[in-house]
Amino acid sequence: MAEIFQTVEQLIKDIETAQPDSIEAIEQFRIKYVGSKNIIKPLSKEIRNIPNEQRKDFGQLLNKAKKAAESKFQHLKDSLESGVEEAEGEELDLSAPPMPIPLGSRHPVSITMNRIIDIFSRIGFIVAEEREIEDDWHNFTAMNTPEDHPARDMQDTYYLKDSTSMLLRTHTSSVQARVMTTQKPPIRIIAPGRVYRNETISARSHCQFHQVEGLYIDKDVSFADLKQTLLYFAQEMYGAETKIRLRPSYFPFTEPSAEMDVSCFICDAKGCNVCKYTGWVEILGCGMVDPQVLENCGIDSKEYTGFAFGMGIERQAMMLYDINDIRLLFENDVRFLKQFQSAL
Ligand code: PHE
């Protein structure tokens, strides 16, 4: 007799431990344990072979099996209906390594610009950022560029549609005028940003590029201060052995004006195609702020003097990273961009 009890007991165990994991398997479970032809039902016929005193126990055990099957099936049905999330949740492997997140990298122009900003901020220059859409006065007039100056020519400057005074700034020198008209000396700023010129796009020039402007105004600022500041910059940027040379030049807003070359860091000034076999590479334009520019912007030129410089970023980035076509810097091809990594 114990045998039939064991059979039912085993059945209950089977029901409780069953783990049907698909819709088909749950259906099989239903047919086997709860359907109209389930395997529990016929067991009740066995009751006649059981001694009277054990019939009650057997009946209860059978009932237990029936209840176990029904509640298990109900539970399986509920979890199916409660949605896909739970079904998916069951398959989630929490120990699996995560999908790699592709990391971006900084643009070579940003890396170069940040290096320049970092170098000047170490000697007290503060970043000043200004608008790219400028008016004629800040971009030209205040900077001593008279109305008939060729730099204003429609072929060089992008004017806004139907406007003769609003334009895309052609240099970051417009920030000099913005700062001088709103701040009192001492002024010591660097102004990084995008500039625009109507130029034919080629491997060497583009209609948009970046500059960093520097401006220092205080009492008794001299050309020697300018030279020392630029020497410090060149050696921080291109190495402690770097030499600089200043060549006389002309800009409407500085007097005297100069262009600065650094000794070619690619060939150690021995001569290569970057320095065109001269040993020198031109990096920036600079000079003492023309007293007229100070006056234009409301600064007393008898009390104050200053120096200014402006440098292009793209050309320096191209030299630093050996890039031979400026257009690569504006095409945003990820295969090109992902080669650059920097902490700055
Ligand atoms: N604005 C000049 C240029 O775009 C550079 C410059 C800035 C020169 C400041 C002198 C002083 O070429």
Q: Which tokens sit at 189?
A: 């700023």
pLDDT at 104: 81
Residue 290's CB is within 10 A of a number of other CB atoms, namely 21
Q: pTM for the complete prediction?
A: 0.71
- The 3-state secondary structure of 139-181 reads HHHCCCCCCCCHHHCCCCCCECCCCCCEEECCCCHHHHHHHHC
Instruction: Specify which of 96-100, 144-148, 203-207 reaches the highest per-range mean pLDDT.
Output: 203-207
pLDDT at 153: 76
Report which ligand 1 atom has the smallest distance to the Cα of 170: 4
Q: Treating both helix axes as pointing N-terminal to C-terminal, what angle do 84-91 and 52-81 enclose, rounded to 10 degrees?
A: 100
Distance 275 CA to ligand 1 centre (A): 21
Q: Is 139 in the pocket of ligand 1 (CB under 6 A)?
A: no
Distance 317 CA to ligand 1 centre (A): 18
Q: Whose CA is nearest to atom 5 of ligand 1?
A: 310
Pocket test of ligand 1: the residue of 139, 149, 173 to mutate, having most ligand atoms within 8 Å of its CB, is: 173
Distance 276 CA to ligand 1 centre (A): 23
For range 295-307, the mean pLDDT: 97
Q: Is 145 in the pocket of ligand 1 (CB under 6 A)?
A: no
Q: Whose CA is nearest to atom 6 of ligand 1?
A: 310
Reported confidence tier of residue 76, pLDDT bands at 50, 70, 90:
confident
Sorted by where each begins, the domain ranges of the chain are 2-87, 108-340
Q: Integer distance in angstroms from the first to the last C-alpha of the chain?
A: 84
For range 324-330, the mean pLDDT: 94
Q: Which CATH superfamily is domain 108-340 in?
A: Bira Bifunctional Protein; Domain 2 (3.30.930.10)
Q: Is 287 in the pocket of ligand 1 (CB under 6 A)?
A: yes
Q: Is 286 in the pocket of ligand 1 (CB under 6 A)?
A: yes
For range 245-266, the mean pLDDT: 95
pLDDT at 99: 85
Percent of the chain, pLDDT > 70? Answer: 96
Q: Is 306 in the pocket of ligand 1 (CB under 6 A)?
A: no
Distance 309 CA to ligand 1 centre (A): 6
pLDDT at 314: 96
